[in-house]
């Protein structure tokens, strides 16, 4: 549908009232400032083949709206109109008349150097609905092309690639279990895999959903006495992906169903991909037989980021922003400072760019420090395993290298256990990750250390005081 027909079709129809309601809801939800910056200039164009068409003046606005508010907009539109399957945002031609009496001149976000766009510009589709109704939507930005590979995620990435390429169950990778802390790219990898399978082998039925959604669907099926249909749906897929499996911990009947679904699929030689925030053996509140089944195939750990990966990710995101100029100094500063996870790194970059765009000034190191002051403080305060090893070694007068050694003499082993204990207590690192950072020790060694120190603190007040003192010094 051309822009002109769309405009003609919708001028003065109730559709505009519908859109006003959606915008009002967005204003309520996100507040006046956000509304003025992003939604006031967002126009309703019309429906095209199940896709709601919206328009904005610049490419930058489009990217920002899609990445920050895309899901919200879709949900709100779907509440108003059941025929909305997806949402497209196009960049409207500067010369085209505004479809509504809208004060365009006031539209915020005067993005610099963004005069691109003809009405034919390819739209950014927010979310495609899936043919499998239970499947959750896939984010179009989460593709292999947009995934930056580095040491910390190379195994997980290689396994996902392999499954996508194979066209059938990948031997040795079934199930693939991806685990790691939040914001490190597990969901991104799973979506990328799903997209790639759809592209390579469209006949393979892929279902992706969160463990929470699995649980919800299961309970719903029970309530409406549809558990047979529920089982059939799951068992008819070729590739089942369940994200954030830790959410089924403690939910016994869901676990039971999950276990059966899981076994049925493996028996039928179907591919499974699961993610969790820790390794199968460390998942608490999950039955032993489920845990061991989860760890059957390939267990791939997505580690925390390193500097090179953070730099690569920033560079890739900046390229995707088309024409946004960021001095290399600022990029390096961000990669150096925002070490927590990729989500936060991305958020920091977006904030810096949004600020520069809104005030119409170039990005500099000074403005970056100013805009991100809260985030930078939080990242500075974060305690690392290295800090802990250094402090504990100092305190007990041993060498930092003893933290990595296998020496068992009490004078070295006890401080090492304390350092492991503090790493568990003061950082968000998983047991295997901690083990690795102590000279490649097994996660059970770390677990043992944590238990041991806990015990000693309960029985020996001098020991307790020592550990508390170290904790306070580290939190300083
Ligand atoms: P998780 O599921 O592990 O919590 P996500 O997959 O949601 O993390 O990732 C958080 C954000 O970081 C997403 O926007 C994702 O696109 C981005 N991200 C994570 N890892 C990478 C990577 N290696 N390359 C590019 N973007 C990444
Ligand atoms: Mg996730």
**CB contact at 8 A, 211 and 242:** yes
- The separation between CA 230 and the C-alpha centre of its own chain, rounded to angstroms, equals 28
Per the structure block, which two tokens stand in for 153?
Answer: 């995620």
Model confidence pTM above 0.85: no
Q: Which ligand is nearest to the CA of 342?
A: 1
HSE of 257 in the Cβ direction (CA atoms, 13 Å)? 20
Q: Is 397 helix (H, G, I), strand (E, B) or coil?
A: coil
Q: Which ligand is nearest to the CA of 341?
A: 1
CB distance 344 to ligand 1 below 6 Å: no
CB distance 213 to ligand 1 below 6 Å: no
Q: Which of 154, 185, 210, 321 to mutate to test the pocket of ligand 1 (most atoms within 8 A of CB)?
A: 185
Distance from the alpha carbon of residue 185 to the mean position of ligand 2, in angstroms: 7
d(C-alpha 58, C-alpha 79), whole Å:
27
d(C-alpha 133, C-alpha 128), whole Å:
12
Nearest CA to ligand 1 atom 25: 147
Q: Which residues surround ligand 2, an ion (CB under 5 A)?
A: 186-187
Distance from the alpha carbon of residue 144 to the mean position of ligand 1, in angstroms: 11
Residue 241 pairs in a beta bridge with: 208, 273
Rg (CA), the chain: 26
Pairing, β 239-243 against β 271-276: parallel
Report in angstroms the alpha-carbon separations of 446 from 275, 294, 430.
23, 22, 10
Nearest CA to ligand 1 atom 9: 185
Distance from the alpha carbon of residue 184 to the mean position of ligand 1, in angstroms: 5
Distance from the alpha carbon of residue 209 to the mean position of ligand 1, in angstroms: 17
CB distance 181 to ligand 1 below 6 Å: no
By C-alpha distance, which of 349, 431, 422, 410 is closest to 384?
Answer: 422
Instruction: Encode the chain (476 residues) as per-residue pLDDT tens digits.
Output: 444 444 444 444 466 888 988 988 888 888 887 788 788 889 998 888 788 899 988 777 887 788 778 888 888 888 888 788 788 888 886 543 444 433 333 333 333 333 333 333 344 444 333 334 567 888 999 999 999 999 999 999 999 999 998 878 888 899 999 999 899 999 999 999 999 999 999 889 999 999 988 888 888 888 877 777 777 888 788 999 999 999 888 888 888 888 888 888 888 889 999 999 988 988 888 888 888 889 889 999 998 899 999 999 999 999 988 888 899 999 999 999 998 899 999 999 999 999 998 888 999 999 999 999 988 888 777 888 999 999 999 999 999 999 999 888 999 999 999 999 999 988 878 888 899 999 999 999 999 999 999 999 888 888 988 898 999 888 87
- Quick one: how many helices (H) and strands (E) in the chain? 19, 9
Q: Is 295 helix (H, G, I), strand (E, B) or coil?
A: coil
CB distance 313 to ligand 1 below 6 Å: yes
Q: Which of 192, 342, 346 to mutate to test the pocket of ligand 1 (most atoms within 8 A of CB)?
A: 342
**CB contact at 8 A, 363 and 334:** no
Q: Which of 343, 349, 430 to mutate to test the pocket of ligand 1 (most atoms within 8 A of CB)?
A: 343
d(C-alpha 65, C-alpha 79), whole Å:
19
């Amino acid at each position: 549908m051309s822009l002109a027909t769309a405009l003609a079709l919708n001028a003065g129809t109730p559709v505009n009232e519908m859109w006003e309601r959606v915008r009002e809801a967005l204003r309520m939800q996100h507040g006046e400032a956000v509304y003025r910056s992003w939604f006031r200039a967002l126009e309703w164009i019309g429906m095209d083949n199940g896709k709601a068409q919206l328009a904005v003046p610049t490419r930058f606005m489009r990217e920002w709206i899609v990445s920050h508010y895309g899901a919200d907009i879709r949900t709100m539109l779907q509440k108003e109109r059941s025929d909305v399957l997806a949402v497209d945002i196009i960049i409207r031609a500067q010369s085209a008349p505004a479809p509504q009496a809208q004060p365009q001149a006031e539209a915020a976000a005067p993005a610099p150097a963004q005069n691109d766009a003809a009405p034919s510009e390819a739209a950014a589709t927010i979310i495609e609905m899936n043919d499998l109704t239970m499947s959750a939507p896939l984010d179009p930005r989460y593709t292999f092309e947009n995934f930056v590979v580095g040491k910390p995620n190379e195994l997980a990435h290689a396994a996902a690639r392999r499954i996508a390429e194979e066209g059938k169950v990948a031997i040795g990778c079934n199930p693939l279990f991806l685990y790691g802390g939040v914001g490190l790219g597990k969901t991104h990898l799973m979506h990328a895999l799903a997209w790639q399978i759809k592209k390579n082998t469209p006949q393979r039925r892929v279902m992706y959903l969160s463990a929470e959604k699995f649980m919800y669907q299961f309970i719903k099926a029970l309530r409406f006495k549809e558990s047979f249909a529920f089982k059939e749906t799951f068992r008819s897929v070729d590739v089942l992906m369940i994200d954030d499996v830790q959410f089924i911990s403690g939910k016994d009947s869901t676990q039971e169903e999950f276990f059966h679904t899981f076994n049925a699929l493996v028996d039928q030689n179907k591919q499974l991909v699961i993610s969790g925030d820790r390794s199968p053996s460390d998942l608490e509140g999950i039955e032993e037989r489920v845990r061991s089944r989860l760890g059957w195939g390939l267990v791939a750990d997505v580690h925390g980021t390193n500097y090179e990966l953070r730099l690569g990710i920033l560079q890739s995101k900046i390229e995707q922003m088309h024409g946004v100029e960021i001095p290399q100094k600022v990029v390096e500063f961000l990669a150096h400072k925002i070490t927590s996870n990729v989500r936060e790194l991305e958020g920091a970059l977006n904030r810096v760019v949004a600020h520069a765009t809104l005030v119409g000034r170039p990005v500099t190191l000074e403005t970056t420090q100013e805009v991100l002051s809260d985030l930078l403080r939080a990242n500075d305060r974060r305690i690392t395993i290295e800090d802990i090893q250094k402090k504990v070694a100092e305190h007990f007068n041993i060498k930092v290298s003893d933290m990595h050694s296998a020496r068992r003499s009490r004078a070295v082993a006890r401080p090492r256990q304390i350092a492991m204990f503090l790493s568990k207590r003061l950082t968000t690192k998983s047991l295997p990750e901690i083990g690795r950072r102590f000279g490649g020790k097994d996660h059970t060694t770390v677990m043992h250390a944590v238990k041991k120190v806990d015990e000693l603190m309960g029985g020996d007040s001098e020991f307790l005081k020592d550990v508390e003192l170290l904790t306070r010094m580290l939190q300083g």
